[in-house]
Chains A and B, each alone.
Chain A
């Protein structure tokens, strides 16, 4: 039996939604097989990683807290990727947003007031956007590939944390630990559900995604992103400047990554530490694609990805799976998704050889 890929007259809407689900299911199946083959309880690993976080209600708060930054960054990336602007450095923009917010928190240390958090938020957004402006400038002025510049700037941002928490921002009472002091109460995100770790960042993530969905589907801005990504020549004919679009895409995705950085540092971390970069910025790339570059899809994808994070931790303690296993599962998901994407534009058709047809 032979199969052939045949181009569909129109991209399949069904496949567009089926492939993300199928890629998650395939990941579970193949993951179970692989981990069984290397001597673990494969089925148990998949159960712990994908199901325990959902069935155990104590884990739900962790899901929300992990999903929030992934959703916020993923939404920003989904907007940029629509315009074919490949911002790979959200991690760096997330770090810079966190650092900018930390700067405000430390400068206002000892002060009180409701205005401190909004100011930190503005600083975080500005920090992320400013860091994304560097690849934008290089791309529009000199034609430098934004994939390289945004990625490399990530590593520079991590070094900046190391420097700041070891010297100028080091906690004077920290017994030499490389970290800043714990933020004052007015510089910390309030918990919105008493008795849990769910902070203000969780509802903010949902609101950000909803606003982005509305803007992308209804506004001229969203149209501009999509048309520049789909057909740059037609976009120019329609009156949309490619350079302006590159700037907008990088600034918006950088700003959202910066916002996520601020929410993390003022929420779960409560201070800046060298371990602040936790790959949210990179994982959000998977989230953006798994969510079909659609802000509503990104909410779901963010939750799925949070499940693998939380479940990965569970599996570490219960069946002694290495922490890298989470990464393996996440990468498999992206792999299956991108591979399955071909079915959106093509369909699989059985080829009947001529002899068989005659018989």
Chain B
């Protein structure tokens, strides 16, 4: 049988960058093929050329043994190439069926389309009610719409761009089941990710890119996560260095019976959350997305104020009634999950973004006027110490890659030397090299006596990083336990089958 897809010497140049340099690899029929690389390694560019969004400057694409020119995504779909993007293009106010109908190249009567959708869903075990409005669906369910949309065209190659970065562990498992079934029926899958354990679990072959060049094509089952990460970043991976003889001090952050009001339809509020973090301790909060993590972060940062002053205290000082500015002055800094538009303003320079949270702690404001020199100097320091890849303090935050922006944001907060730092998803969508740097910075901050709270859906991260763990489920926090004394089964149980069960209950099997 001919190779499903064969790329030979693909080169793509952008002004100032060589995005892909002579890349050659092949995907066999029915193979799950990982495309692995750090942010900016050229994965997206390569995939865009396969899907016809861009054209290569040099090189050849062969499809089932025949050289082809993929002139547009429509042409790609015609060949049998489907793609599920990281960011969904769905209309929230329309139903699943309407959204799929809008995306079809050919006009199909609604009744026939629905029958086909139900057939595809049954075939691959995708649970989804075609008549539900998209706004009421979880992220995982929205992704299923995109998958169904791609599968309706009976693709011979399905490209998945970072599909699990938005999914819960249960949803990841369901997705993998679907992909394995697809592959078993002969559809090839090109799977873009940098989550190495997923690639080990799912993929048959991995092609690793670095700086636009192909580094290696290997069998992920024969490799360790570490060896693949090192190929990806092109250097030895550093372990987290923990200072010797670290001892935890007095209780620093004490949260008692903290609750928030229910605001929107889809928000989960927190309910009587209590925990204590000592000086030097890293306290992890695990949980499936959408269980009150956002409300908890907002309640701790001060974006949502409590009506009980004593619900949050630092060194015994009550903070519950204070706003974010006052809490920062008292030493509590926070980093929300969403980088662009929440933790940072994309249209502002990095320097102006430093003014956003560091202006009071670092004296960037004198008599109502901003000392832009001080902001620039501080931003330069963040860029240097956290190895942020940016032209300088004047770069727009929105022009940075996700990982670099996250390094900047973490640096901006950590260099303010907060006595309490609360972070949500510190390494979400961040490549291995940057994630390791961020983890090390958190450990170092704890070592000098700060109390740190890490809210994350990444259990590996929490296991590697934290001294103490608790689990948030439906807005309630489990009792905290030392990380070492907690088994993965115990955490899994606390994360609650409840959430997954409700979801399965809501969806109507086809």
* Residues of chain A having any CB pair with chain B under 8 Å: 9-11, 218-221, 223, 226-227, 230-231, 233-234, 236-239, 241, 352-355, 357-358
B88 to chain A, nearest CB (A): 18
User: Which residue on chain A has the smallest CB distance to residue B353?
Assistant: A234
CA distance A110 to B328 in the complex (A): 58
B398 surroundings in chain A (CB, below 8 A):
10
A226 surroundings in chain B (CB, below 8 A):
348
A235 to chain B, nearest CB (A): 8
B352, A11: Cβ atoms closer than 8 Å:
no
Q: Which of B360-385 touch A at CB < 8 Å?
A: 365, 368-370, 372
CA distance A68 to B302 in the complex (A): 44
A219 surroundings in chain B (CB, below 8 A):
368-370
B36 to chain A, nearest CB (A): 25
A52 to chain B, nearest CB (A): 40
Question: Which of A219, A226, A234 is most buried by chain B, counting CB atoms within 10 A of its CB?
Answer: A234
B343, A10: Cβ atoms closer than 8 Å:
no
Q: A234-B341, A239-B325 are in contact. Are A10 and B399 (CB under 8 A)?
A: yes
B407 to chain A, nearest CB (A): 18
Q: List the 5 shortest-distance A-B pairs measured between CB atoms, nearest first.
A: A239-B325, A354-B71, A238-B356, A239-B324, A231-B345
B359, A237: Cβ atoms closer than 8 Å:
no
B282 to chain A, nearest CB (A): 22
A238 surroundings in chain B (CB, below 8 A):
324, 356-357
CA distance A240 to B288 in the complex (A): 30
B301, A220: Cβ atoms closer than 8 Å:
no
B370, A231: Cβ atoms closer than 8 Å:
no
Q: Which of B330-366 touch A at CB < 8 Å?
A: 334, 336, 338, 341-348, 352, 355-357, 359, 365
A220, B359: Cβ atoms closer than 8 Å:
yes
B399, A9: Cβ atoms closer than 8 Å:
yes
A221 surroundings in chain B (CB, below 8 A):
368
CA distance A226 to B352 in the complex (A): 11
B326 to chain A, nearest CB (A): 8
Question: How large, as a class, is the contact surface on chain B?
Answer: 35 or more
10 A/B residue pairs, CB under 8 Å, sorted by A: A218-B370, A218-B372, A219-B370, A223-B352, A226-B348, A231-B341, A239-B324, A354-B69, A355-B71, A358-B69
User: Which residue on chain A has the smallest CB distance to residue B323?
Assistant: A239
B348, A239: Cβ atoms closer than 8 Å:
no
CA distance A227 to B357 in the complex (A): 12
CA distance A223 to B357 in the complex (A): 12
- The answer to whether B135 has its CB under 8 Å from any CB of chain A is no
B323, A237: Cβ atoms closer than 8 Å:
no
B308 surroundings in chain A (CB, below 8 A):
none
A236, B345: Cβ atoms closer than 8 Å:
no
CA distance A10 to B341 in the complex (A): 16
A10 surroundings in chain B (CB, below 8 A):
395-396, 398-399
B304 to chain A, nearest CB (A): 9
The contact of A239 among B69, B71, B328, B344, by CB within 8 Å, is B328
The contact of A237 among B355, B357, B368, B369, by CB within 8 Å, is B357
- The answer to whether B250 has its CB under 8 Å from any CB of chain A is no
- The answer to whether B506 has its CB under 8 Å from any CB of chain A is no
User: Which residue on chain A has the smallest CB distance to residue B52?
Assistant: A354
Q: A220-B359, A236-B303, A239-B323 are in contact. Are A230 and B348 (CB under 8 A)?
A: yes
- B307-334 vs A: 1/0 string, CB under 8 Å? 0000000000000000111001000001
CA distance A357 to B352 in the complex (A): 44
A234, B55: Cβ atoms closer than 8 Å:
no
A222 to chain B, nearest CB (A): 8
A358 surroundings in chain B (CB, below 8 A):
69
Q: A220-B369, A223-B355 are in contact. Are A230 and B347 (CB under 8 A)?
A: yes
B343, A234: Cβ atoms closer than 8 Å:
yes
A280 to chain B, nearest CB (A): 30
B356, A220: Cβ atoms closer than 8 Å:
no
A354 to chain B, nearest CB (A): 4
B301 surroundings in chain A (CB, below 8 A):
237
CA distance A227 to B336 in the complex (A): 17
Q: Which of B59-73 touch A at CB < 8 Å?
A: 69, 71
User: Which residue on chain B has the smallest CB distance to residue A357?
Assistant: B55
